[in-house]
Structure 1
Amino acid sequence: MAAVFATAGLLLAHGVYSAAVHTSKHNHGYCKELDIPVFATSKSAIYDIPRVDSNVDAISWAIYSDTWSTPAGGARIIKNTTTSDTFKIHAQLCVPKVSGGKNDILHIATHGVHYDSRYWDPTLDREKQSYVEATLRAGYPILTYDRLGVGKSDKPNAYDVVQAPLELEILRQLTLMARNGTLHDFAGKAIPLNSAFNMAAKPVKKVVHVGHSFGSFLTSAFIAKHSSLSDGAIITGYLLNKYLGKAGMASFNAQFAPTSSTPFNRPSGYVVCQKSGIQTIFFAGDPKTAFTKEMLDYGDAIKQPVPVGEFASAYHIIGLPGPNFKGPIQYMLPEFDFYICGGDCKGLADMKVLRKTYPQASEIEVAIQPNTGHAFTLHNNATAGYQISYDFLARNGL
């Protein structure tokens, strides 16, 4: 709890600063963008990771990571460390305009690698693609945030700081702030003030954690390690199976972020997909019906560099058992997810394994969203999948 009090103190000392409130861009809710100082402490490590300071280095890093004889997991640790610091986490908190029975059930959505929180709220066609807009329309408030190292959040050392355990702790701190009212209190006071937002915002009674890809790694680990802090989970773009990640890092067609074809201001160790890598990983299904050229172009336009330390440390958060989690869990799998399922997710889920992993879960459901790829928010069939998730939550009292 010390970290919670420290974060609350930082909010009191420095305030929460919001960008302009755009009540018009979201038809079904009021939103505020926030820069939240989050104090977090976690175990970390210095890993044996090739440095990435050029485009040539980026390809060499990918090949090294994919090579069968390269040490994996803890075998790559040179020295165990602890990371403790305050990080700026950029977030967007939205509340529904229409009051109802769900406006005290907060969705906390965690994005995956190669994107930031815009993955959940694409502006290309919000009514047909945005998970944020759909969630507001369904009557839920929603918090999205840029994970550490991407978007408008802090971008610290890519090797020794931005690692999976720290990101899991940041998610815990954000959840605690939502549950104890700190987040809503300071969002309400953030400049510019908005009376409509404040009137619509309600105290949080329950939290549903939603993840995509690496964000689902984190969400799965969260409900396993911090079961009492979550009332339900929607896992998208992730299923632990024999094909997970078999496409490898080389499929990213990565470049060093500062010298990439679309340059980013990042330090050593940040890599970014080329457009061909974005299509390979994130877009699938019938190219005539699953997605449009505009969706692919948009998916490339909002891409984000990735700190390589995330990949080296990901083993900490994959496949953790959750014996104490009692809420419902839905796996929403894109039918043709190449990176997670080797291109076909149908029939891969083993319900016996899932029930053994979460023996007290009130319900576990696996849904397949037809004709979609890994980035299902950027496919034509997105909102139909969202509705399946909302129906699942409603059946389980959420």
Structure 2
Amino acid sequence: MLIKSLALVTLITAASARKCTNITVPVSLTSQNAVFTIKAPLTGIDVTSLAINLARQGAPPYPEQVQKGFTTVSGNYELAATYCEPDAGPGKELQIMTHGIGFDRSYWDFPYNNYNYSYVARAVDEHGYSTLTWDRLGVGASSKGDPLSEIQVYLEIAALKTLTTKAREGSLGVGCKYSKVVHLGHSFGSVITYALANESPELTDAIVLTGFSQATAYLGLFAVGSNFVPITATPLADKYPAGYVGVSSTVGIQINFFAEGDFDPKMLEVAYEKGQPVSPGELLTLGAPAGKNNTYTGPVQIVTGSRDVPFCGDNCYSTISVDEKLPSLLDISRQFFTQASRFNTTVVPGAGHGLNFGYSHTVTYDSILEFLSELA
């Protein structure tokens, strides 16, 4: 893949209190990726079989059954990102946000209803932060790659580390550098953020994991509930290599991201229209990083909707399957973050997995921004 010189394009936003710029960040990445004995799914039957296999109970999990070690993957890539800061100049600190499966960086600054659902608008306009959202490697306007062997969680962790290092060093091309950086993730983006804090804790001053828990029993619901089809059967067929999989209708989006009574039906349609596919490499590796104890010593917050399907089985308050003494499934993570300087869990009542898309998004944003403000 060719590295282009850093390109800046001014982005006109709906909010007058912030300045946003689209940037393309060239990066050189290396990771130890998993080697799988299966091929990327190309037909509807292949895709459905993959989803069913991922949902199968029992040990060892399907990804472990089809993995035969690791191999080094290296390459030059481009990461598409958007940098925002207050009109007055760079904010008090930088928030780097990593989106999850099914969407691109617009998840954090969603244009629906005049940006009423935008977390970026709240963070920049009302609280004076700078923000950096990015399309994960293999998604949106960022570089694509082999959907099975290349686009895996491990390479995406490397991408976030490199992006963060550039932000701290001042080599993003936005005219400033940041000594204080916090990381936010959603869903799969939270898994990537979890790994960054564990492997390179010096890169982040705090982490916020949204749409996340370490109750792994329900991830199979995401696989089968998505109603995945080959990318060749979707409107994005000409933008992604064969082997990617996408959601076939609003049904899969509603099952996995929206909670009954907490969303505008028009928002569901827009979320489906703006949706992005996922690589089988991501689906097969997404669980690995969050299964490790995290030695991060900084502040940690976990924010998840009470009716999150992939991470709570539609009921984050039901903990009988793990420990009925726990107040929520989010609190499983306390045993993983034993060294965190501060640990907070927030269950958003009535919210689904796609927190930024619900009527309850204001509760989500309030909880995050209050948590971060108390760290200042």
Worse-superposed segment, 27-36 or 293-302 = 27-36
TM-score calculated relative to the size of structure 2: 0.90
Structure 1 residue aligned with 2:320: none
TM-score calculated relative to the size of structure 1: 0.86
CA distance in 2, matches of 1:370, 1:89: 35
Superposition deviation, residue 49 in structure 1: 3.0
Superposition deviation, residue 243 in structure 1: 3.8
Q: Partner of 1:176: helix, strand, or coil?
A: helix
1:245-293 superposed Cα distances (whole Å, 9 cap, x missing partner): 141411110111122366453222200012211111000132xxx1111
Structure 2 residue aligned with 1:306: 278
Superposition deviation, residue 396 in structure 1: 1.6
Structure 2 residue aligned with 1:249: 223
Confirm or deny: 8 A CA contact 1:98 1:139 kept in the other structure. Answer: no
CA distance in 1, matches of 2:162, 2:42: 32
1:84-123 superposed Cα distances (whole Å, 9 cap, x missing partner): 1011111111111246xx9131100000011111111110
CA distance in 2, matches of 1:174, 1:22: 20
1:47 to 36, 46, 57: 36
Structure 2 residue aligned with 1:162: 151
CA distance in 2, matches of 1:365, 1:143: 23
1:47-80 superposed Cα distances (whole Å, 9 cap, x missing partner): 1334311223221221232233675344422352
Structure 1 residue aligned with 2:335: 356
Confirm or deny: 8 A CA contact 1:349 1:366 kept in the other structure. Answer: no
Structure 2 residue aligned with 1:187: 174
Superposition deviation, residue 388 in structure 1: 1.5
Unaligned runs of 5+ in 2: 318-326
Question: Which structure 2 residues correspond to residues 13-52 of structure 1 after superposition, within 5 A?
Answer: 14-19=4-9, 21-52=10-41
Unaligned runs of 5+ in 1: 1-9, 189-201
Cα gap change, 1:125 to 1:238, in 2 (>3 Å): same
Question: Which structure 2 residues correspond to residues 26-105 of structure 1 after superposition, within 5 A?
Answer: 26-68=15-57, 71-98=61-88, 103-105=91-93
1:137-189 superposed Cα distances (whole Å, 9 cap, x missing partner): 21100000000111001111001000111110110001100111111xx234x
Number of aligned pairs?
363
1:113 to 101, 108, 129: 101
Cα gap change, 1:187 to 1:57, in 2 (>3 Å): same
CA distance in 2, matches of 1:387, 1:242: 27
Confirm or deny: 8 A CA contact 1:134 1:383 kept in the other structure. Answer: no
Superposition deviation, residue 376 in structure 1: 1.1
Structure 2 residue aligned with 1:369: 348
Cα gap change, 1:268 to 1:207, in 2 (>3 Å): same
2:112 to 124, 128, 132: 124
Structure 2 residue aligned with 1:342: 313
Structure 2 residue aligned with 1:196: none
2:240 to 243, 266, 270: 266
Structure 2 residue aligned with 1:208: 182
Cα gap change, 1:72 to 1:142, in 2 (>3 Å): same
CA distance in 1, matches of 2:193, 2:115: 26
Confirm or deny: 8 A CA contact 1:27 1:133 kept in the other structure. Answer: no
Which residue identity is paired with 1:303?
Answer: G
Confirm or deny: 8 A CA contact 2:302 2:330 kept in the other structure. Answer: no
CA distance in 1, matches of 2:349, 2:16: 27
CA distance in 1, matches of 2:330, 2:108: 28
Confirm or deny: 8 A CA contact 1:116 1:304 kept in the other structure. Answer: yes
CA distance in 2, matches of 1:127, 1:307: 29
CA distance in 2, matches of 1:211, 1:242: 17
Q: Partner of 1:26: helix, strand, or coil?
A: coil
2:259 to 275, 284, 298: 284
Confirm or deny: 8 A CA contact 2:245 2:280 kept in the other structure. Answer: yes
Matched, 1:293 2:265: yes
Superposition deviation, residue 338 in structure 1: 1.2
Superposition deviation, residue 44 in structure 1: 1.1
Q: What do you get for the CA RMSD once the two structures are aligned?
A: 2.1
Structure 2 residue aligned with 1:172: 161
